[in-house]
Amino acid sequence: MKKLNKNKKVFVVIASIALIPILLFGGFISGVLPFAYGTLKCGHLPVKSSNFAASYSYDLPGDKEYGFEPLSDYEFCTAKEAEAEGYHRIIFDY
């Protein structure tokens, strides 16, 4: 009985160690972890920026296109910071 208990504990430890990188990788791919980091760093919702296809655009919290996406960055806390780095705001009217 003790042997079975020890094997179960070893399995849980190994499974946990194997699962952590998978969860971290999934968090980065989905954009959730960078979004959470940006929110913590700024103290409020960060500016969503993207240089996908050389667009260098940004969205502000409240914009229709705002949210976490895999190809977006959340490194700016204000629109002024994004514009200083050469990003521009695109407003979709639909």
Q: Which residue has the tokens 């502000």?
A: 60
- Would you say 38 and 74 are in contact if contact means Cβ atoms under 8 Å apart? yes
Give the bridge partners for 59, in sequence order. 48
**pLDDT in 10s for each residue of the chain, 94 residues:** 456 577 777 777 787 787 777 766 766 666 777 888 888 999 999 999 988 777 899 999 988 888 777 778 888 999 999 999 999 998 776 6
pTM, entire model: 0.65
Q: What are the residue ranges spanned by the domains of the chain?
A: 1-30, 31-94
Give 53-94 as a DSSP string.
Answer: GG--EEE-TTSTT-S--TT-EEEESSHHHHHHTT-EE-----
